[in-house]
A = this chain, B = another copy of it.
Amino acid sequence: MIRIAIAGYGNLGRGCELALQKNPDMKLTAVFSRRDPSSVKTIDPQIPVYRLEDAASHRDEVDVLIICGGSATDLPTMTPMLARDFNVIDSFDTHAAIPTHFENVDTAAKESGHLAMISVGWDPGMFSIARLYGLSILPDGKDYTFWGRGVSQGHSDAIRRIPGVVDARQYTVPVEDALARVRAGEMPTLTTREKHTRECYVVAEDGADKALIEQTIKTMPNYFADYDTAVYFITMEELREKHMGIPHGGVVIRSGKTGKDDENTHVVEYKLALDSNPEFTASVLVAFARACARMQKRGVVGCKTVFDVAPIDLAPISAEEARAHLL
């Protein structure tokens, strides 16, 4: 039985508890939180909740600690710190900062003799694996990543910070025409604007200047200025009724050429359609936590990513069963 702990009990931590219930070879032994433990309501009320600062004193009860913090400010410090006492796994998703995070975690994990896995989820994570397989099999080709249709938390938050906005949801939507061209093996060059559009559902304060809010959204640098953005003002009731889910997904497509005269085109597509972004991410984290426990037992230490994990180490079945039934 692999003993798992969770650090941080928000949507993602809760998703991990749910995912663990689907995997009878693993059990949740502890939750660590920065909140007052008595205020943390786990799904199974029997799960002990401890203060995060006391985590190290429970290290002998845990094989792998899943760190469910935010990438902006939590994980850059939490993951290296906790890797001193635990085998850890996180879903760090600031792509540009991955090399630095990797180095920091690798140093901490090697010093303490632990195994750490970073950037586990779907992007980074399963989409990264799809990109790497694609490049490796079809080196003469191009890859494309499209996200959505799904809720972007970061873009929703950016809208909420605009004066006069009460609440908002932003959906990232892939452009169907661009997708169709990529799927047809055309290997087009696509601008940011040609790949995705952004749909914003905004609840404004009574009397707010909606034209100004819309203008502020559409011209916001980095977030919206480079996209065709649609803004819809709705009531709080409509937001609650239609936009409370956290769906997401997307596709990674690798298109490449083979043949004496490059006459043959191949298109490889990996597609996700997810009802719940955090619950799917948590499901990926839990599968890689299994691999983390197995690899650590074999003496692997330091920082690893999804690229370093052989598929069989994720499996809830034996290698013999996998060869007989899935190969």
- Is the pair A312, B267 in contact by a Cβ cutoff of 8 Å? no
Q: How far is the CB of A289 from chain B (nearest CB, A)?
A: 11
Q: Indicate whether A306 reaches chain B with its CB closer than 8 angstroms.
A: yes
A300–B19 Cα gap in the complex (Å)?
33
Total interface residues on A, CB under 8 Å, equals: 70
Q: Indicate whether A276 reaches chain B with its CB closer than 8 angstroms.
A: yes
Q: Indicate whether A259 reaches chain B with its CB closer than 8 angstroms.
A: yes
A131–B319 Cα gap in the complex (Å)?
13
A135 in contact with B326 given A267-B273, A275-B265 (CB within 8 Å): yes
Which residues in chain A, 267-321, are within 8 Å of chain B measured between CB atoms?
267-276, 279-280, 282-284, 287, 290, 305-312, 314-317, 319-320
Q: Indicate whether A220 reaches chain B with its CB closer than 8 angstroms.
A: no
- Is the pair B307, A309 in contact by a Cβ cutoff of 8 Å? no
A183–B249 Cα gap in the complex (Å)?
13
Which residues in chain A, 18-75, are within 8 Å of chain B measured between CB atoms?
18-19, 22-23, 43
A315's partner among B136, B264, B311 (CB-CB below 8 A) is B136
Identical copies of this chain, number: 2
Q: How far is the CB of A234 from chain B (nearest CB, A)?
A: 24
A258's partner among B19, B98, B323 (CB-CB below 8 A) is B19
A126's partner among B18, B133, B279 (CB-CB below 8 A) is B133
1/0 per residue A243-279: CB within 8 Å of B? 0000000000000101110011111111111111001
A260's partner among B18, B129, B264, B311 (CB-CB below 8 A) is B18
- Is the pair B259, A327 in contact by a Cβ cutoff of 8 Å? no
A128's partner among B263, B267, B287, B327 (CB-CB below 8 A) is B327
Scoring A22, A260, A309 by chain B CB atoms within 10 A of each residue's CB, the highest score goes to A22
Nearest to A312 among chain B residues (CB) is: B307
Interface positions of A (Cβ within 8 A of B)? 15, 18-19, 22-23, 43, 95, 98-99, 102, 119, 124, 126, 128-129, 131-133, 135-140, 183, 185, 256, 258-260, 263-276, 279-280, 282-284, 287, 290, 305-312, 314-317, 319-320, 322-324, 326-327
